[in-house]
Structure 1
Amino acid sequence: MALLFGIGGLIVFILWPYHQYTFRFNPEDLLDQYVDGDRPTTMSAMRRALALRIKADMAGKWRIIQRLRLALQIALVFLLLDILAWLLASGHLITSQGAPASVAHHTCVLGNGQDLKFARP
């Protein structure tokens, strides 16, 4: 049961939204910073600044991706352990006759002297 809760917690962690995860530049920010500012920036300076910004964004995304990758790997291990636990538990419940070992057989004597056998889980 703990493995199942562990898997659920990791799923929540993986699916939790990341607000700092951006995929592109905002054009208004680029225009404000490089064109409409106090001093317009040269093309070479703008390319350099954008390359450094891309590098910083890539490093930030890399940390998020690594955390997600690690969470997925841990969830996979938990899932495999959970499946193994289920297989071992179901294998130990079956006896050589094919009936579950946890089933107890009881005999009930009826009023007419007949025995009635039934199984109770």
Structure 2
Amino acid sequence: MTFSRKDTNKSARGAQAELLAEQFLQQQGLFCIERNYRCAAGEIDLIMRDQNMLVFVEVRLRSNRFFAQAAESVNYRKQHKITRAAQHFLLTRRLTDKVPCRFDVVALDGMQAESIEWIRSAFNAA
């Protein structure tokens, strides 16, 4: 498989957005547990701890507002994939009934810290 320059740039911008989101959340008092958790069900950008709660974070970057804002792009299908990946994470670590969880979205409409929108409890498990 080959990657075009556009795909490489998109991946680099996505990684940069995830780093910016992680730093922002750490400044808010959250602690990073894992980055880019992948399983057959899907991927979770960041898994953080907020006091006694496990937080599954989807990071969305939109550089072109013509289509939709970043937060609006986390549709039902994406929520379902994140939920299934979170279930896998909890099952493999035997945490299913041991820790409260929530699903947050960190939306960036640019690469500046001022453009960050943090939506706590953005959606419930599907």
Do they superpose with TM above 0.5?
no
Name which one, 1 or 2, has greater alpha-carbon Rg.
1
Q: What TM-score, normalized by structure 2, do the two folds share?
A: 0.22
Q: What TM-score, normalized by structure 1, do the two folds share?
A: 0.23
User: Greater share of helix residues, 1 or 2?
Assistant: 1
